[in-house]
């Protein structure tokens, strides 16, 4: 404790002088008034005091004298302005950066505290340790950076912000923006310091920003950068949904196919159940058992889901505590998908008109396809009908195929009817009266199709390359082959339907419908969700909405509380050149309404998911290259004594209280 006001020697002189004056005043004898009484002895007996009362009168004068000296001492002490040594250092300014990414929801100790709980506990200790001249601010670094408490020295404001405004959110921590904001806030401040509270489960951008912060702290004039790793000693399992998408079947709009990818990011095996619901009604699911680090992608086919919203959720197995622990934080155990209405598929049929069975089979799919029939001379690439088609059938009797094939999905009957063929799959042999003896029954193209006992006069077998699939064979020689790449597929049927009895069988229209369905789903692709991010750019064309004249849209975020009757407030966003940006900060389904242009009042929905392996990985990536030993934060500071104000104010309050007590005792004849 030291004096910031008068020096101790000056205070001693002042106290000595004041004490002498007070003592002198108490030594003055009171002049008594003389009174004449009729009989002095009688009054002397009445007013005579006992020895005890005389002693008390002497003592209470001494007590009153000591009270006055104590008041004098308090005044002198207040003039000295005593302060703890911690108050006499230079004022400090601290930016407390708290990681609020999804991984901070993981359990950090055996008491059930999360990593964020530990971060808040340390942040409160930092606030409690602030001196009267110190200041601090709170920065929450989630997928979006926020400032719950601006730069202030009011501890109550900082603590209230920590209690009410710092929450774990989905996605990764944007430490780049958070640390840049901290440096700007501390510019030209006294003794600047940045304290980063994180679990170290960061993406590459976050690690780079943290390493740059600790490196710059070594330079003169830069803020000191300290990092406190949290929850590193606690092994926590976590399983996350890293992909979730869905699509409709082109020939059955009430059925959907769901793609789910789950990953075990923990160090122990995990068993759990995946449930898929549509408007809270179960439509499918599966039980998984994943080894540590394993990734499994599952396609759930033909789910009954006429609705447009799907939800995938990971749930623990009943009566299995280990299953619940392996799932980890629930923030990445739920994902959403939106399935918009499916437009009819554009199909082109290039034919000479001699196979009416094929055209009839396609016409039966009129509700699902837009069929364009073309003569052989118009079947080459460059024709808009060919270039825009999602699937092209080539069925030519004596006319050669085009010199080059279009870059789309193809179904070609008897491609080697003539020697020269542009088909990339090579011919193996010409076959006379082949018998279709082998069939791959588990492939979707052959669902319900049986080629057994199909008669034909001739055919062609194919030479397969790696990756090609033989669907139907003659004594091991492939005659129906599927070749696919990353964008398109090609189905080659090595015989002419006109030279067989296949068109007379139910297998023929089923094969055509299966081909349309298979390539239609491949072309349309899964309708994937948008990943979490503070700002995401989307295109109207991706949702089938014309962009002509569209400049204004309304985005309605998901309802955070379904039990609350109030509706979320729509946010207006601008669109330019058919593109717009949304603030995708929470998972769920966002509704978007077009307010002007050709597509005014059009409404569509977008699903937003975390689906981020880096955000779900709970393992710390901090090392000495990112956080050197000099930048590691130490133990929590001790609370500053009486940090709400200077001590002299309390001393004066004590003096006032003592005066009040002395005044009350005087009027009750306790002191003089």
> What b-and-e string marks burial along 625-664, b requiring 16 or more CB atoms within 10 Å of the CB?
ebbeeebebeeeeeebeebeebbbeebeeebeeeeeebee
Q: Across residues 95-107, what is the average pLDDT?
A: 91
Cβ 393 vs Cβ 348: under 8 Å: yes
566, pLDDT greater than 80: no
Q: Which segment of 53-57, 485-489, 577-581 scores lowest on mean pLDDT?
A: 53-57
199, pLDDT greater than 50: yes
95, pLDDT greater than 90: yes
Q: Across residues 597-626, what is the average pLDDT?
A: 85
Could you tell me where the beta strands, DSSP code E, fall in 4-125? 82-83, 93-99
**Within-domain flag for 65:** yes
* Same domain for 294 and 230: no
Task: List the alpha helices (DSSP H) in 477-609.
Answer: 507-524
**Predicted local confidence at residue 111, as pLDDT:** 77
369, pLDDT greater than 60: yes
Residue 433 makes CB contacts below 8 A (sequence gap 6+) with 455, 456, 457, 458
**Predicted local confidence at residue 119, as pLDDT:** 93
Secondary structure of residue 255 in the 3-state scheme: strand
* Same domain for 623 and 499: no
Q: Across residues 125-135, what is the average pLDDT?
A: 85
* Same domain for 657 and 586: no
| Lateral strand order in the sheet of 530-531 | 530-531, 603-609, 588-594, 552-556, 571-576, 579-584, 533-539
* Same domain for 460 and 350: yes
70, pLDDT greater than 70: yes
Query: pLDDT confidence of 221, banded at 50, 70, 90?
Result: confident
Secondary structure of residue 406 in the 3-state scheme: coil
CATH code for position 533: 2.60.40
Sign of the CA dihedral 350, 355, 361, 364? positive
**Within-domain flag for 41:** no
Report the percentage of the chain scoring pLDDT > 90. 30
pLDDT digits (tens, 9 = 90+) for 446-457: 988 888 888 999
CATH code for position 300: 2.60.40.150
* Number of domains forming the structure of the chain: 5
**Predicted local confidence at residue 655, as pLDDT:** 73
Cβ 76 vs Cβ 15: under 8 Å: yes
CATH code for position 151: 3.40.50.410
* Same domain for 200 and 304: no
Q: In which domain, by residue range, is 448 found?
A: 345-524
**Within-domain flag for 636:** no
**Predicted local confidence at residue 52, as pLDDT:** 47
**Within-domain flag for 54:** yes
Domain end point (choices 478, 507, 524): 524
- Taking the C-alpha atoms of residue 267 and residue 347, their distance in angstroms, rounded to an integer, is 50
Q: Report the candidate in 135, 204, 133 with the shortest Cα–Cα distance to residue 173.
A: 204
Tokens 């998972």 belong to: 587
Per-residue CA distances from 2 to 78, 82, 298 (Å)? 12, 5, 71
Secondary structure of residue 650 in the 3-state scheme: helix
**Within-domain flag for 181:** yes
With 0-12 / 13-18 / 19 or more C-beta atoms within 10 angstroms meaning exposed / middle / buried, residue 111 is exposed
Q: Which segment of 186-190, 403-407, 500-504, 522-526 scores lowest on mean pLDDT?
A: 522-526
Domain end point (choices 338, 370, 394): 338
* Same domain for 76 and 59: yes
**Within-domain flag for 641:** no
**Within-domain flag for 387:** yes
Look up the pTM and report it. Answer: 0.65
* Same domain for 427 and 445: yes
Secondary structure of residue 546 in the 3-state scheme: coil
* Same domain for 72 and 7: yes
Output DSSP code: residue 227: E
Helix axes 51-80, 8-27, angle to 10 degrees: 150
* Same domain for 227 and 154: yes
- Tokens representing 83 are 């302060």
pLDDT digits (tens, 9 = 90+) for 256-280: 888 899 999 888 899 999 999 987 8
- Taking the C-alpha atoms of residue 659 and residue 654, their distance in angstroms, rounded to an integer, is 9
Domain end point (choices 524, 559, 587): 524
Cβ 219 vs Cβ 503: under 8 Å: no
pLDDT digits (tens, 9 = 90+) for 12-65: 787 788 777 777 766 665 555 666 666 556 556 555 554 444 544 555 667 777
Could you tell me where the beta strands, DSSP code E, fall in 125-269? 135-141, 145-152, 192-198, 224-229, 239-249, 252-264
pLDDT digits (tens, 9 = 90+) for 616-669: 888 888 888 888 888 888 888 877 665 445 666 677 777 777 777 776 666 555
Cβ 607 vs Cβ 532: under 8 Å: no
Report the percentage of the chain scoring pLDDT > 70. 85
Cβ 257 vs Cβ 284: under 8 Å: no
Q: Report the candidate in 617, 542, 546 with the shortest Cα–Cα distance to residue 582.
A: 542
Q: Across residues 542-559, what is the average pLDDT?
A: 86
CATH code for position 415: 3.40.50.880
Kindly report the length of the chain.
Answer: 672
**Predicted local confidence at residue 644, as pLDDT:** 47
Secondary structure of residue 73 in the 3-state scheme: helix
**Within-domain flag for 64:** yes
Give the other-Cβ count within 10 Å of 219's Cβ. Answer: 8
H helices, E strands: number in the chain: 13, 32
**Predicted local confidence at residue 663, as pLDDT:** 67
Cβ 267 vs Cβ 234: under 8 Å: no
- Tokens representing 152 are 């202030």
Q: Which segment of 187-196, 229-238, 495-504, 584-593 scores lowest on mean pLDDT?
A: 229-238
* Same domain for 503 and 362: yes
* Same domain for 310 and 215: no
**Predicted local confidence at residue 373, as pLDDT:** 93
**Predicted local confidence at residue 586, as pLDDT:** 84
- Tokens representing 112 are 């059930």
Helix axes 115-128, 155-165, angle to 10 degrees: 170
SS3 assignment for 95-160: EEEEECCHHHHCECCCCCCEHHHHHHHHHHHHHHCCCCCCEEEEEEECCCEEEEEEEECCHHHHHH
Give the other-Cβ count within 10 Å of 162's Cβ. Answer: 22
Q: Which segment of 227-241, 550-564, 649-663 scores lowest on mean pLDDT?
A: 649-663
pLDDT digits (tens, 9 = 90+) for 147-159: 999 999 888 899 9
* Same domain for 371 and 496: yes
């Amino acid at each position: 404790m030291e004096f910031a006001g008068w020096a101790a020697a000056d205070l001693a002189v002042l106290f000595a002088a004041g004490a002498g004056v007070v003592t002198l005043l108490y030594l003055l004898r009171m002049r008594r008034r003389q009174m004449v009484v009729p009989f002095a002895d009688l009054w002397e007996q009445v007013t005579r005091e006992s020895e005890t009362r005389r002693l008390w009168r002497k003592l209470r004068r001494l007590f009153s004298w000591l009270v006055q000296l104590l008041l004098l001492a308090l005044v002198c002490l207040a003039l000295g302005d005593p302060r703890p040594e911690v108050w006499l250092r230079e004022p400090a300014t601290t930016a407390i950066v708290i990681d609020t990414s999804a991984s901070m929801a993981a359990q950090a100790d055996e008491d059930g505290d999360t990593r964020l709980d530990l971060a808040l506990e340390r942040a409160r200790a930092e606030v409690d340790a602030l001196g009267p001249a110190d200041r601090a601010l709170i920065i929450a670094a989630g997928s979006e950076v926020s400032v719950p408490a601006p730069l202030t020295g009011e501890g109550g404001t900082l603590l209230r912000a920590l209690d009410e405004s710092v929450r774990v959110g989905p996605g990764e921590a944007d430490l780049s923006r958070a640390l840049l904001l901290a440096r700007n806030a501390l510019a030209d401040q006294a003794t600047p310091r940045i304290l980063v509270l994180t679990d170290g489960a960061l993406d590459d951008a976050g690690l780079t920003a943290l390493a740059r912060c600790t490196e710059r702290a070594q330079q003169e004039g830069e803020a000191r950068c300290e990092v406190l790793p949290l929850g590193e000693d606690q092994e926590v399992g976590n399983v996350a949904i890293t992909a979730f998408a869905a699509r409709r079947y082109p020939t059955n709009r009430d059925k959907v196919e769901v793609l789910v990818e789950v990953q075990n990011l923990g160090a122990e095996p995990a068993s759990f159940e995946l449930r898929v619901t549509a408007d809270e009604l179960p439509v499918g699911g599966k039980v998984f058992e994943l080894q540590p680090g394993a990734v499994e992608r599952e396609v759930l086919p033909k789910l009954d889901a006429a609705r447009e919203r799907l939800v995938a959720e990971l749930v623990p197995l009943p009566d299995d505590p280990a299953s619940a622990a392996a799932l980890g934080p629930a923030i990445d155990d739920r994902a959403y998908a939106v399935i918009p209405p499916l437009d009819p598929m554009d199909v082109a049929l290039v034919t000479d008109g001699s196979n009416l069975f094929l055209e009839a089979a396609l016409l039966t799919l009129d509700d699902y396809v837009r069929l364009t029939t073309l003569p052989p001379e118009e079947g080459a690439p460059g024709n808009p009908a060919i270039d825009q088609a999602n699937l092209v059938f080539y069925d030519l009797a004596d006319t050669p195929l085009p010199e080059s094939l279009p870059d789309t999905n193809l179904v070609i009957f008897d491609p080697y009817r003539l020697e020269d063929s542009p088909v990339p799959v090579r011919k193996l042999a010409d076959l006379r009266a082949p018998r279709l003896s082998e069939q791959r029954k588990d492939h979707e193209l052959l669902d319900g199709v049986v080629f057994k006992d199909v008669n034909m006069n001739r055919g062609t077998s194919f030479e397969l390359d790696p990756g090609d699939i033989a669907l139907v064979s003659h004594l091991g020689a492939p005659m129906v082959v599927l070749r696919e790449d990353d964008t398109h597929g090609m189905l080659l049927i090595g015989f002419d339907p006109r030279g067989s009895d296949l068109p007379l069988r139910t297998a023929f229209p089923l094969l055509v419908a299966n081909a349309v369905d298979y390539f239609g789903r491949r072309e349309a692709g899964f309708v994937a969700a948008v990943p979490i991010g503070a700002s995401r750019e989307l295109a109207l064309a991706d949702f089938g909405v014309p962009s002509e004249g569209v400049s204004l849209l309304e985005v309605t975020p998901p309802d955070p509380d379904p039990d609350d009757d109030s509706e979320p407030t729509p946010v207006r966003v601008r669109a330019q050149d058919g593109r717009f940006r949304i603030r995708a900060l929470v998972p769920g389904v966002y509704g978007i309404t077009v307010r002007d242009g050709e597509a005014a009042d059009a409404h569509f929905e977008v699903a937003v998911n975390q689906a981020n392996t880096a955000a779900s990985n709970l393992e710390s990536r901090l090392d000495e290259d990112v956080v050197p030993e000099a930048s590691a934060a130490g133990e929590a500071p001790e609370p500053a004594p009486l940090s709400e104000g200077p001590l002299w104010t309390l001393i004066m309050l004590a003096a006032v209280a003592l005066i009040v007590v002395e005044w009350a005792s005087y009027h009750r004849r306790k002191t003089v």
